A and B are shown apart, each in its own frame.
Chain A
């Protein structure tokens, strides 16, 4: 086969125009790549935007940022001292990283915090102290304090004895949300876990955790540290979105290269083995390259950035685009006439391409931006492949009609096998019915599954590390919280305090904080005034505990100045920025909103599910919300699928008449087989989305069997196409990303089913049923090679 002959010159002009368009795409794509930032790795970018169900988008972003930029690393060595040395070495390495701010163990923040709260020390009470002052009288409070003074245990005391003899300030600062009293005061804070000592390194990213370059630098630093200390026994646990994002990116990159390279290699191997022609090889290579180029350009135009997972999905395009090439090449080889080959496959190619595109583009209705991108990517790539084949195909030089080797297998093995099998009509019908019932029962037994956690791309090691860190640090989860709103920061704070009171009244959980509220750092003015009065009544006022303590200490207490005047300046509007380090949600108060995070491990769910009957307080569980969204969209997409299938069936029956039944039965049986075999723990949204593609592929196969008709060439082309797609989707089904794996396995089994079942149905109905009077279904170049089957002769005699 060679390119460019006299007859093909009519196609030259459109081909040149197409080439120019491809050049434009190439220039655009190179420009995008050179500009950088054209690829996205944010796994959350695949998720619907309703992660934070708040109207105010800026507020939603702030809430997301609160949790996504922080990270923690816990490290333990063979013993406490070895662990400390390793932690210090790692800290030094991390401090060198750009765009990473490491919380150092210096006392600067503590000094700033204690200095800030000093003027307010007579109007702030920790919950523990408040309870104590409410429950006890001045005499009892003084006695307890006296016992405390005589005990060997010294509590943290930020202020001098004369400024704060009851150490209310110590209680207050230790109750701040960012203070964890579980930590040992080692050079780098550490926490005991049985006999182990875990050292904690805390950090914050100064840019998005999805910045690929930042992910790479952090990963390199940790890997270098591991290598550097390969001979030293140590364990390192990480927690934070950046580590999950990094793993997601690494995984996506590896999947893209595996699936892409696998598909490409399969195509190359098949072309070399089947066609033994460099022209055919370059033709396929050109079509694959141009379809990828168009897919990239259109996706960039539509979405500005391409997600790595979209690329991983999209790499299956190579297998699909190769299908069209195979159909053309087989017909061209068989007829020796490229123009005729194009004519033969024209209708089938168009119907197949359009139905596949429709199957993909229906995913535009999906809530997942990643899938929308995928749909645009593959649909545009398929369109480009189809146009490419139709335009470049006729440019082939006509040659002597020849037979593709695989076609002989059809004639000698496949066709007789199917004919023999089809001759036993009734048993097949019974077997088919049993299989259908079994598949339906299997699907019914599996049920559905919408849990968003099943889509997690993080490996089990990373998830275990995250769980361990959470357990050590008190199980504060950033995906479950209360969202409070009000008319003013003061009102929001009052609601937060009301909520805290209600929760602690219902769930007594010792001294561990259950809720992390901004009111823990800046109480409402109402609360501050109440505490001011309480401190005056019970401690600093006349007859208060302070006077009784002085008496017990035999001191005239001339150093005690009494209660300071009330200070109204501890308000949201006036808090310094560094306080956000202690209470990260303080910033939200300026929007008259507050987020109260929930700790307490197993209690969190109970707390969240309880109806607290408080105004403008909404319980948010992002996991549950996303699971609900998935459920909603699974139902939505299933309905769409049903409508799409019905329209498709109707369209095929209208277009092909009774022959359309081949499409209907092939699609229905392939879909049923694909779902029942591929689903192992409930049908998910992604199984349904993959079913769209199975429908597209099954239509593809069936349509080419109708037009130009099932013969050695068509079967060869379908088999080659199926083989390349099988490799692409088979590789995808082995993906570690659940979403990709679910998608890949449904399509894989759908392909196998369509490839095996469609010829059987074709022969079950009788080849005459489908081939009689097919417009444009002239004899192909290889039909003369097919021996007359006895079954065919008998059928003709009957007619």
Chain B
């Protein structure tokens, strides 16, 4: 289920006044709330349509993994290449070197320590691809999504639908403009991961 981003939290700002006055104010605001809500759904539709057109993108990333017992975050940097047909190649360049290939068949880790790639869960590969490419349709089946912002500067707040995943991950925040710019994963344990992307090249199917 897609949840709109309408800011419908109670206006509990301590203001007092006759109940009828507040009701009137609420009635006045209703059309605005409705428009905002529709806009959120439109935003998701637009993002979904744009993700479908994304053919490839390449750039660099910086990942910060914050583990509560470690004084400093684990920061890694590298390059990524996303291609609609083949998936994503994630190359960590520092402080360690490794190369991950993520596609719909799974995740292949090709590192110095092993001579053959290790096949991991295909479902995880699909989820990660959806996260990095902003594939709203796939993400919708896995998360409750709240969208805010505009088409040119948007934010998605994802809460796992599955209780078992929710026991591991509190939420995922994705923000972007034309393409995804950052992904933040908040673990239930209190640790979190933030990945920032600097895209240098992207192509859409229309181009």
Residues in A lying within 8 Å of B, measured CB to CB: 80-81, 84, 105-107, 110-111, 136, 140, 143-144, 146-147, 149-154, 156-157, 160-162, 181-187, 189-192, 197, 510-511, 553-555, 559
Contact = CB atoms under 8 A, between A and B. Distances in A.
Contact of B128 (A80, A152, A559): A152
A553 B74 contact: yes
B80 to A, nearest CB: 9
A100 to B, nearest CB: 20
Contact of B69 (A107, A150, A161, A189): A161
Contact of B90 (A149, A151, A189): A151
Interface of B: 63, 65, 67-72, 74, 76, 90, 92, 95-96, 98, 100, 102, 107, 109, 111-114, 119-124, 126-128, 137-138, 140-142, 160-168, 185, 187, 189, 191, 193, 195
A150 B168 contact: no
Contact of B168 (A149, A156, A192, A554): A156
Contacts of A154: 185, 187, 193
A178 to B, nearest CB: 13
A370 B127 CA distance: 53
B92 A151 contact: yes
For the complex of A and B, 3 pairs with smallest distance between CB atoms: A187-B161, A185-B162, A150-B76
A151 B98 contact: yes
Given A110-B164, A184-B123, A192-B126, 19 more contacts: A81-B140, A107-B164, A144-B113, A147-B109, A150-B74, A152-B63, A153-B124, A154-B185, A154-B187, A156-B168, A161-B189, A181-B123, A184-B141, A185-B123, A185-B165, A187-B162, A191-B123, A197-B141, A559-B69
A322 B65 CA distance: 86
11 contacts: A80-B141, A107-B163, A110-B167, A144-B113, A152-B193, A153-B107, A157-B189, A161-B67, A162-B69, A185-B162, A187-B162
B123 A150 contact: no
B190 to A, nearest CB: 8
Contact of A181 (B121, B140, B167): B121
A161 B70 CA distance: 10
- Which of A111, A183, A184 gathers the greatest number of chain B CB atoms within 10 Å? A184
Contact of A190 (B90, B95, B119, B141): B141
A160 B189 contact: yes
Main secondary structure of the interface of A (DSSP, over half): loop
Contact of A111 (B70, B76, B137, B167): B167
A154 B167 CA distance: 14
Contacts of B70: 161, 553, 555
Contacts of B107: 153
A555 B112 CA distance: 24
Nearest to A136: B113
Contacts of A80: 137-138, 140-141
A293 B126 CA distance: 65
Contacts of B142: 184-186
Given A149-B65, A151-B90, A182 B123 contact: yes
Contacts of B161: 185-187
Nearest to A510: B119
Given A110-B164, A161-B189, A146 B122 contact: no
A153 B100 contact: yes
Nearest to B118: A511
A147 B98 CA distance: 7
A143 B68 CA distance: 21
A80 B141 CA distance: 7
B90 A152 contact: yes
A105 B162 contact: yes
Contact of A192 (B122, B160, B195): B122
Contact of A105 (B95, B120, B126, B163): B163
Contacts of A156: 168
Contacts of A190: 141
Contact of A153 (B122, B123, B128): B128
Contacts of A146: 96
Contacts of B166: 107
A144 B96 CA distance: 10
Q: Pick the most buried of B74, B109, B127, B167: most chain A CB atoms within 10 A of its CB.
A: B167
A107 B164 CA distance: 5
Nearest to B160: A185
Contacts of A110: 164, 167
Contacts of A185: 123, 127, 142, 160-162, 164-165
Contact of B100 (A144, A152, A187): A152
Contacts of B162: 105, 185-187, 189
Given A107-B166, A184-B142, A554-B72, A150 B126 contact: no
Contacts of A511: 119
Contacts of A184: 123, 126-127, 141-142
